[in-house]
Structures are given as structure tokens and as C-alpha cells.
């Protein structure tokens, strides 16, 4: 199988082929996901919640992101790997360049930043320096203290228009992918149709160009809480390999996410 690249993901959007991605944090799972057809993996700062047992992503350190990126790259040498820039690791463009370089040297193909138009100069600077960027709008877990909790974003018309406007600005600045988290399905569709870059949804409806879930959620490992937008694929398929394979198949054929996994406006 040819190595996945940004160009391949772009082509998938153009051809209407859905992109299936998951978070990964270690070599063994990265290897298994890749063998079952997952298109790309995100080394998420969600490791704070699901690996470290923290109640948010805010305490996750840069050194920890570098470490987990190295593990995932070892497990899947040919895979497309994206890594989160953790909380306050990109407060200034200069800081972003130095920290993103660490993630790229650890094995990432792309870095992900949370936030809107305040990131324009940073994104321009990163891409000029050869570091591909994925932007992230909607619910921003690193800003949970400002947002007042994990709530659906973009429900009011003005907020929805603003999210679309920021998405266009981020694309213009050079972002090559966009993650949309916890927004109404109609807004996910609107943004995906307006952009030329692929959109990857998590709780953003069925019309984004691809889907991403936290691995622990889609395996039903978080027994206390399963987000509305997630589904236990392990229970459905009975094995880890089967869970990843079923997830990819259902994203591809459009049966996931179904209506019950989506938010209305």
C-alpha cells in the first residue's frame, strides 16, 4: 500500500472518499490500526485524559507529546502521523516553531493547533518553514476553562458564521487539514463544502470529509462516559482488529456517524 500523504487526503476529499482516522499513543496500537486500514493517526493530547488519568488536556507537557509521537512512529513507520501541540506550546509564533520542530523530528508528518484567527501568523510561519498544519475549530479542549466546560459550539447563527469565517481564514493562512469538534451537523456540512482542504469531524456530523475518534472511546474503554458522537466498535466486532476494521468500513460507507451521534442546531 502506498504511503498516505497530505496530497492523498486531498485527493480523497476531491473524489468524495471518506477519511477514517483515530488517535494513537503507542507502537502496538499504531501498528494494528495501520494494518486495518486507518488512513492516519493523531497523537492526541487527549492522552492526558485516557492514558494519564487527568481531567483535561491542559497539564500535558511537550516532552510527553514528543515521547508518544516517537512510539507511534516506531509502530507504524510508513503511516501518516499528526501530533497535537499541547496547551500553551504555541503562544507565540517563535515558540510554535521550536516546539513543532520537536514533534516533526520525533516522527510527526503534521502538527495540530487549536484556535481561530489569532493563529494566522503562526500557521503562515510554520508552513513557510516546512511544517504542515492541521487547524482545529469548534470545541477546543485546551480552552475548556474559558468555554465553561465541554459544550457544543456554533449553535447560534452568529457563532456558526464566525466559525465558517475562521475556517476560511485558517485555510487561507496555509492550514492543510481542519478538525471540527462538537458542532451541529449542518455547520459541519457548510464548512466542509466551503473549504478546499479536507475536514475531519469529531461530533461534527456525517458530511465532513472524514471522521476521527479517541481510540479509548471507540473501544468502549471509558466505562464512565461515552460521548454522544462515539460508538463502541469493540462490542460490535468482538476483537481489536475487528473494531478498527469495522470503524473504517462504517466511515467509508457513511453509516457512521448515524443520526444519534450528531448534534442539531
User: Is 114 marked as binding a ligand?
Assistant: yes
* Buried/exposed 90-118: b ≥16 CB within 10 Å, e otherwise: beebeebbebbebbbebbbbbbbbbbbee
User: Which entry of 36, 64, 171, 181 is annotated as an active-site residue?
Assistant: 181
User: Is 84 marked as binding a ligand?
Assistant: yes
User: Is 45 marked as binding a ligand?
Assistant: yes
64 is catalytic: no
CA pair distance 208, 134, nearest whole angstrom: 15
User: Is 64 marked as binding a ligand?
Assistant: no
CA pair distance 208, 18, nearest whole angstrom: 8
SS3 20: strand
The C-alpha cell at 10 is: 486531498
User: Is 171 marked as binding a ligand?
Assistant: no
DSSP letters, 118-157, are GGHHHHHHHHHTT--EEEEEES-GGGHHHHTSS-----SH
The C-alpha cell at 58 is: 491542559
Residue numbers belonging to the annotated binding site for Mg(2+): 45, 84, 114
Binding-site residues from annotation for 3-methyl-2-oxobutanoate: 45-46, 84, 112
Catalytic residues: 181
Going by the annotation, the residues of the binding site are 45-46, 84, 112, 114
Amino acid at each position: 500500500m502506498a504511503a498516505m500523504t497530505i496530497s492523498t487526503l486531498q485527493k480523497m476529499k476531491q473524489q468524495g472518499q471518506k477519511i477514517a482516522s483515530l488517535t494513537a499513543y503507542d507502537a502496538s496500537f499504531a501498528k494494528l490500526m495501520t494494518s486495518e486500514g486507518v488512513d492516519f493517526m493523531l497523537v492526541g493530547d487527549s492522552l492526558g485524559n485516557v492514558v494519564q488519568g487527568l481531567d483535561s488536556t491542559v497539564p500535558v507537557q511537550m516532552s510527553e507529546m514528543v515521547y508518544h509521537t516517537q512510539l507511534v512512529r516506531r509502530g507504524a513507520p510508513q503511516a501518516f502521523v499528526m501530533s497535537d501541540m499541547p496547551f500553551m506550546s504555541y503562544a507565540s509564533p517563535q515558540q510554535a516553531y521550536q516546539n513543532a520542530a520537536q514533534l516533526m523530528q520525533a516522527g510527526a508528518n503534521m502538527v495540530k493547533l487549536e484556535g481561530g484567527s489569532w493563529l494566522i501568523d503562526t500557521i503562515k510561519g510554520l508552513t513557510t518553514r516546512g511544517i504542515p498544519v492541521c487547524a482545529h475549530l469548534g470545541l477546543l479542549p485546551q480552552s475548556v476553562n474559558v468555554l465553561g466546560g465541554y459544550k457544543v459550539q456554533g449553535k447560534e447563527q452568529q457563532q456558526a458564521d464566525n466559525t465558517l469565517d475562521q475556517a476560511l481564514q485558517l485555510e487561507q493562512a496555509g492550514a492543510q487539514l481542519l478538525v471540527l469538534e462538537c458542532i451541529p451537523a449542518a455547520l459541519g456540512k457548510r464548512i466542509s463544502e466551503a473549504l478546499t482542504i479536507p475536514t475531519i469531524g469529531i461530533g461534527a456530523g456525517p458530511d465532513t470529509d472524514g471522521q476521527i475518534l479517541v481510540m479509548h472511546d471507540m473501544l468502549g474503554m471509558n466505562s464512565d462516559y461515552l460521548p454522544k458522537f462515539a460508538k463502541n466498535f469493540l462490542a460490535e466486532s468482538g476483537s481489536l482488529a475487528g473494531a478498527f476494521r469495522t470503524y473504517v468500513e462504517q466511515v467509508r460507507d457513511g453509516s457512521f456517524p448515524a443520526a444519534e451521534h450528531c448534534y442539531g442546531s
